[in-house]
Amino acid sequence: MSTIVILTGAGISAESGIETFRAETGLWAQHRVEDVATPEGFAKDPKLVVDFYNGRRIQVAGAEPNAAHKALARLEAEHTGEVLVVTQNVDDLHERGGTRNLIHMHGALNSALCAGCDHRWPIAGDMQVGQQCPACSAPTARPDVVWFGEMPYEMDRIFDVLGRADFFAAIGTSGNVYPAAGFVAEATRAGADTVEINMAPTIVGSEFTSSIMGPATQTVPAWVDKILKSN
């Protein structure tokens, strides 16, 4: 019964029409990271940040999970051992594609967080600056996403599963952001077989046992077939 851990990044949602971060026309080409993905940026201009995430929430609402998301759900359903998807993405395409055992380590667009009392609640439409928290009534709603300098979610659980992984795959992530980019080293220490699935080798590509290049909607279903055949 092998344990499989899969880290996903913006590239797995690219073919669903969701912009990645570091492509020439990507999200970070349109906004300075420090302005929209840091607590300091939110404190300085909360409207800019709230509008940035409102725009992405609308984009995701109009998108559909693609064959790569669905293939990971099939792997979870048919693999005899544990399959954990750890996503850096804040879209809900993994859930809508059928994945259940999932960690949003950088948070989620469809969740709001109270900066005052840590209460979380679902949000589908636009967030307003100074929106009231339904629990403490303070005007302290913020996007429930992990900004640079903030601690990603469920790190203990992630490292626990990485410590007993037999297979680790990184799909559609550039390996620029830590601690996610360090997961391959953790999996390697656990003796896992590691594969990087991307359009091109990344800056951490050399740390993987193997790589599969090509668009995720083609490479991920083929990789899942291979894993399930070896079950």
Residues that bind ligand BV8 (CB under 6 A): 9-11, 14-15, 20-22, 26, 37, 88-90, 106, 145-152, 172-174, 176-179, 198-200, 202, 215-216
Burial 90-126 (b: 16+ CB within 10 A, else e): bbbbbbbbebeebbbbbbbbbbbbbeeeeeeeebeee
Residue closer to ligand BV8, measured from CB, 3 or 174: 174
Q: State yes or no: is 69 an active-site residue.
A: no
Q: Which residue is nearest to ligand BV8 (CB)?
A: 11
| 36: three-class secondary structure by DSSP | helix
Q: Smallest distance, Å, CB 147 to ligand BV8?
A: 6
Alpha helices in the chain (DSSP H): 27-30, 33-36, 39-44, 46-61, 67-78, 93-96, 155-162, 183-189, 216-229
Q: How far is the CB of 191 from ligand BV8 (least distance, A)?
A: 25
Q: Catalytic residue among 79, 94, 106, 119, which?
A: 106
Of 37 and 133, which has the nearer Cβ to ligand BV8? 37
Distance (Å, whole) CA 158 – CA 103? 8
Contacts of 145 (CB under 8 A, 6+ apart): 37, 53, 90, 106, 107, 108, 109
Cβ 1 to ligand BV8 shortest distance, Å: 29
Nearer to ligand BV8, 115 or 199 (CB): 199
- As measured in angstroms, the least distance from the Cβ of 137 to ligand BV8 is 26
Catalytic positions are: 106
